[in-house]
Structure 1
Amino acid sequence: MNSSIRLAVTLFMLSGFANAHSQSMPYKSWYLGFSAPDYMEVWIETADVIDVQGQIYRRAMSGVASWLTPPNNSGNPRGWPKKIGIGSGKYVTGADLPKKIYVRWQSLVEPQTYKMEIDISESTRNLMRNSENVTCAADGKLITGYRQSVVVRLAPGGIAKVWVSGPCMTAIEVAKIKAEIDPRGPYEGKSGGGYNTLSNESKAYVEKFGVPYDSW
């Protein structure tokens, strides 16, 4: 084999090796979702992601977190759910697994603006990489599943919990965080202190029962 052919083969092999290791997860994208307790409405101003390659994805998620407003004040916002859903969110397309997630949000029942950084550990990323054979309750089928969702639940007082989860899989809690108050207020001080509007159902609940800060 002459030197030109050897060089071409070497470059081809190195290129293949680099492509195989350019993304450390075994699926195309991961999901970033947010939820809040019943009536405890949240507006996410921004959720920015830094992945393990150092790439920044600004506003990977923004908008409404998922929550319930059962009629006649029949909901229960206290505590953390035994079964966690993935919440409202988006797939972070093009990103590798997360290293850090920065979130700024409005807790509308207080109202207050919070900010926090979620550090995603290597052990958490390993949970997202590793597959499990699981049976889906809906149809009884055995699948190979991944915990490809990062689920964040935001409660008044700036309390947050983080899980990783996936289809037909049990969510695993990976962090609990106490956020900081953002002194600039909503929209980085650009709204004159004005918060998004609280729904009538949530307003009625809070006026009658208050905010159960001690439950989170």
Structure 2
Amino acid sequence: MAPSLSQLASRLTERLDAPLPGHEAHLRMAPRDSARQADLSVNTRDCREAGVLVLLHPGDDGPSVVLTVRRDDLPDHAGQVSFPGGRREDGESLSNTALREAEEEVHLSPASVDVLGPLTPLFVPPSNFCVHPFVGHAPSVGSLRPTDAEVGQILRVPLARLSDPATRTTETRRLKGAAVDVPYYDVAGHTVWGATAMMLAEFLAVVRDAGFRAE
């Protein structure tokens, strides 16, 4: 039997305090076969810092994860799927960045979230961001809604769906003029790829370690 959300949150807190799957998990969803762990590390990077929130909450079909979809009419990254989050402000902890940005983007009260622990930071070369993901648990999230001009839609995706191997697939894209096999998660008809998919891969590995299995 799968653990309840409260049981899963407790197990995740313990698991996140142990050594993480790290870049090995990231590489499973990396767009380039030539990607190396060293290329993903934030160590010694002169980069912009960002915090994102991987939020677990109760859903109609069991524990669910919150993702955001950028509006289709934006000039850059239209339709892109990501975790709530954004750039760190001066004097702010990265976990507080993730909570503040989630409030600004999806109307999530920071007081409702228990931050369980961090995942492995990831360097994203195209934007020169060092992204720091944090796993959070909210027993209730209230009425989430887009509260940022760039957010067009909020996805509340069952963890069982994300954990199903059938959700992961691959397509060929042209990146920097070359044909590259790109792994992605098919989530409610949306393509989750790139840095978000890589962070999601580590999160799902940690969730499996904590005893959650798709039924």
Please tell me whether Structure 1 or Structure 2 has the larger radius of gyration of its CA atoms.
Answer: 1
Tell me the TM-score normalised to structure 2 length.
Answer: 0.24
Taking structure 1 as the reference length, what is the TM-score of the superposition?
Answer: 0.24
- Structure with bigger RCO (C-alpha 8 Å, 6+ apart): 2
More strand by share: 1
User: Which one has the bigger helix percentage?
Assistant: 2
